[in-house]
Structure 1
Amino acid sequence: MLDGTLKEIPSSTVRNGEVVELSESERFDLGLLAYRKNLKAFACSLARDVEIADDLVQETILKAIVNRDKFDFDTNLRAWLFTILRHLFVSAVRKQARSAELTYSISNCSDRAVGGAQEDRLFLKEVVQALRALPSSQRNAILRVGVLGTSVSEVALEEKCRPGTVKSRANRGRETLAKQLW
């Protein structure tokens, strides 16, 4: 397939001595098989690891099959598959980076070790005092959105203000709490 489209995939095949027309779905599957080696080479160039590359190719093919209905058969299948693979790779790298940051921050924060019940109770008391010291609009925004899980739009409707105002109040309240507690 030189141009990356399904034009060069045969539209028919011989089964049991008869010529049978292939459906778009069958031609799509043949296209996936035709580009598997290209996907593997691209994945190896990105991941620099054969096992990770194999996983990326498998995920790409699976995602392509699941999203077959979204593929326009007049477009470039090769480019579509390479885009899926690249997105999967970038997502995996981002996920790995977040995981590494979290592990690093947890391992380097001795002050966040689990304390005794008395320390927890004292800290909770400090949090309650800090919350009470906030202006009521900020306190309500933090409690309703952050603690109770009410949506910003619901709080905005009840408070008769814009969602951005609720977000701003919650953010300012969190910043104030952070300064007071840490």
Structure 2
Amino acid sequence: MTALEFSCSIGKMAKSLKPFAVRLTKDVEDANDLLQETLLKAYINREKFAEGTNLKAWLFTIMKNTFITNYQRIVKRNTFIDNTNNLHYINSTNATTYNLAYSSFALEDINRALQLVDETYRTPFIMYFKGFKYHEIAEKLQIPIGTVKNRIHIARKELKDHLKVYAYQ
């Protein structure tokens, strides 16, 4: 496989790697960085890819390992050594606790607001949210692609109206 063919192949896989990166990092910007780093590592190490094997699985493995390495680096950087006589390792982030109640309430409000949206708009919106492409939704619901886009837009608008409480001031 030539370098150009390899570049084209990993470029096609980039879209399917993005959701995995978001799941790992829980942040869109960090996910973009992870995706970029993964593609760079794949291109640099393209001679290590065995042609005929699963390129997608190889890229997912690179991404997972890159994430783990970066995570370990961050944990190591946030760990400091106590120079007292006890010589304990203290991780400074263990002192922080997070209350997940706020996210639970928000999720309940989102689900409640979603139920208030008309079924006509809710169905394409949920399908899009689950990862379906516009043309897949149009095919499945047997409606034009423009109608799908319009219904998703209306559903977003209605959800935004129902969830004004969460808008930034």
Q: What interval of TM-score do these two structures reach, taking the shorter chain for normalisation? A: 0.3 to 0.5
- The structure showing larger relative contact order (alpha-carbon pairs under 8 Å, at least 6 residues apart) is 1
What TM-score comes out, normalization by structure 1 length?
Answer: 0.44
